Amino acid sequence: MPTRPSQILGFCLFIFAASASAAVKPSALFSDHMVLQRDIPVPVWGTADPGETVTVLFHGQTRSTTAGPDGKWRVRLEKLKAGGPFEMEIRGKNSIVLHDVLVGEVWLAAGQSNMVFTVSKKAQFFAGMLDEDKEIAAANYPEIRMFTQRPVKAYTQQDEAIGQWQVCSPETVGAFSAVGYLFARDIQQSLHVPVGILTVAFGASTAESWLPREALAADPQLKPMLDRFDALEEFFKTHPHVMTAEAPPAPQTINARPGVEGLMRDPAEDHHQPTVLFNGMLHPVIPYAIRGSIWYQGESIVGGKQGVEHYPHVMETLVNTWRALWGEGDFPFYAVQLPGLKNVSNNPMVREQQAKILSLPNAGLAVAIDVGDPDNVHPKNKEPVGERLALIALAKTYGEKVEYSGPVYHSMKIEGDSIRIRFTHANGGLVAKDGPLKWFEIAGPDQKFVPADATIEGDAVIVRDSGVPAPVAVRYAWDNDPEGVNLYNAAGLPAAPFRTDDWDALTDIARDFTGK
């Protein structure tokens, strides 16, 4: 009996399916041009047929494992020395060879739009560095590579990373995270080893969107966010084609936002909701071996007084949870403090709360108060931000003898009608850049702050005002946009905003948020 065309097609499809299912496949993170972290064990993982033997060969090491019932496999390479390019071979029922693999330093670059912000405006409509043409023309750094995770929001945890490693060149750097690239450039030029940046960031995202369900569910302070999200998601799934106004009311919780008017959209597609970016973007890259993380986020705190108060706890939970999931100990976590902006999102209380991250081990804070744009939440002057993050890493992670911080408030002493403010990180003395010191305020017992005269004496600043004969407190750069702040140290790094009082400063912030 002659063979029917349908039989031939079915046989071909069977052969194709069999061969496809047999293919061992690494995560997209393990591909040509990747950078692997030196000096610590390096996990390598992917998928294959359940029960399939998978072997990874790299730089003299051979590691084998068996794919589990779900088809997932993982091996762990022993500590690697910096160098390359090398090849990695992954064998199963098929064989894959990855080319141009380097070993050096790998950092996670995470946060929201100012971390997404690209070197070139051609890659992001809101982006583009100052002098971007000059920056792009000079970006010939083949030992710098970047993997940019594709934006994904999800209600459940995803496994597949989506992206590819790009070698830094004038042709590719325009699409790189500007802060990530500048940080990598300074690190690579100082250490002379390859540097890889794993960019996992999403514009306007909240900190809680980068937390896993388990961390939120176990925390009484944060669980209400998760409960509200779950209730909205359940309502959406059980009431298709419903209008947002018909959704049941829910208690206001940290950073909760009202739905957009009109047809209700899937809450899991809202990057302000808890867990969704952890699920879609971060979970797939854990536990790719990294040295540490840089973080630029904070503008999306909209929960008013409650949201600002809870931000340090959210960030502490985030850092501790990420470290636990990576299993590399207390890896470095260096954040950017928000710059000046004529908007309540960048208010002094948010910056004060951001600074509390310094209470965690191996944490750092890059001050950016002097490099903002008063009218643009995406300032283009990104070079100082990358440089300051790199200085923190070079000093605190790599042990180089460099100053990494501007002046930081240490103590105050009332001296008659004046207050003497002392600082750490004075580094050869304090400097008033471009004229007399600005943005110092002083208050008496009535707690009413007025602009004050401030002069430098060694590692201290003397603050006074003739209208405040009995001063009790000082504030510096205590404004949404303290344009022209000019207290620096001799290393050229700006002083962090501060206040000496512990008075309630959140009430006014709450009014700014609510308009009441």
pLDDT single digits (tens) 166-190: 999 999 999 999 999 999 999 999 9
Q: What is the CATH number of domain 99-227+271-404?
A: 3.40.50.1110
Dihedral over alpha carbons 9, 13, 14, 16 (to 10 degrees) = 140
How far apart, in whole angstroms, are the C-alpha atoms of residue 437 and residue 421?
13
C-beta separation of 467 from 460 below 8 A: no
Q: Are β-strands 165-168 and 195-201 bridged in parallel, bridged antiparallel, or unpaired? A: unpaired
Q: Give me the pLDDT at residue 302, please.
A: 64
Question: Domain map of the chain by residue range?
Answer: 99-227+271-404, 408-514
Cis peptide upstream of residue 287 (ω within 30 degrees of 0)? yes
Local confidence band at 240 (pLDDT 50, 70, 90 cut-offs): confident
Please write down the HEC assignment for all residues of 154-193.
Answer: CCCCCCCCCCCEEEECCCCHHHCEHHHHHHHHHHHHHHCC
Q: Give me the pLDDT at residue 1, please.
A: 44
- Residue 31 in tokens: 């591909």
Q: Give me the pLDDT at residue 508, please.
A: 64
255 dihedral zone (left: phi>0; alpha: psi -120 to 50; beta): left
Statement: residue 3 has pLDDT above 80: no
Residue 514 or 44, more confident:
44
Statement: residue 514 has pLDDT above 70: no
Q: Give me the pLDDT at residue 307, please.
A: 83
Statement: residue 195 has pLDDT above 50: yes
How far apart, in whole angstroms, are the C-alpha atoms of residue 127 and residue 459?
38
Residue 228 or 7, more confident:
228
Average pLDDT of the segment spanning 311-317: 96
Statement: residue 516 has pLDDT above 80: no
Q: Give me the pLDDT at residue 427, please.
A: 81
Please state, rounded to an integer, the average pLDDT across all residues of the chain: 93
Tens of pLDDT, residue by residue over 117-169, are 999 999 999 999 999 999 999 999 999 999 999 999 999 999 999 999 999 99
Residue 377 or 258, more confident:
377
State how far the alpha carbon of 197 is from the alpha carbons of 115, 436, 478, in Å.
12, 40, 34
List, as own/partner pairs, every contact residues 414-419 make where C-beta atoms lie below 8 angstroms and the sequence separation is at least 24, other chains included: 414/471, 414/472, 415/462, 417/464, 417/466, 417/468, 417/469, 417/470, 417/471, 418/462, 418/463, 418/464, 418/471, 419/462, 419/463, 419/464, 419/471, 419/473, 419/474, 419/500
Statement: residue 4 has pLDDT above 90: no
- Number of H helices and E strands in the chain, helices first, is 11, 24
Radius of gyration of the chain (CA): 26
Statement: residue 254 has pLDDT above 80: no
Local confidence band at 428 (pLDDT 50, 70, 90 cut-offs): confident
C-beta separation of 174 from 148 below 8 A: no
Average pLDDT of the segment spanning 236-243: 91
Q: Give me the pLDDT at residue 252, please.
A: 53
How far apart, in whole angstroms, are the C-alpha atoms of residue 242 and residue 246?
7
Q: b vs e for 156-166, b when ≥16 Cβ sit within 10 Å of the residue's Cβ?
A: eebeebebbbb
How far apart, in whole angstroms, are the C-alpha atoms of residue 449 and residue 161?
51
Q: Give me the pLDDT at residue 17, please.
A: 42
How far apart, in whole angstroms, are the C-alpha atoms of residue 322 and residue 190?
27
Tens of pLDDT, residue by residue over 269-302, are 999 999 999 999 999 999 999 999 999 999 988 6
85 dihedral zone (left: phi>0; alpha: psi -120 to 50; beta): beta
Residue 323 or 16, more confident:
323
Tens of pLDDT, residue by residue over 467-496, are 999 999 999 999 999 999 999 999 999 999
Q: Give me the pLDDT at residue 392, please.
A: 98
Local confidence band at 513 (pLDDT 50, 70, 90 cut-offs): low
Give the whole-number percent of the chain exceeding pLDDT 70.
Answer: 91
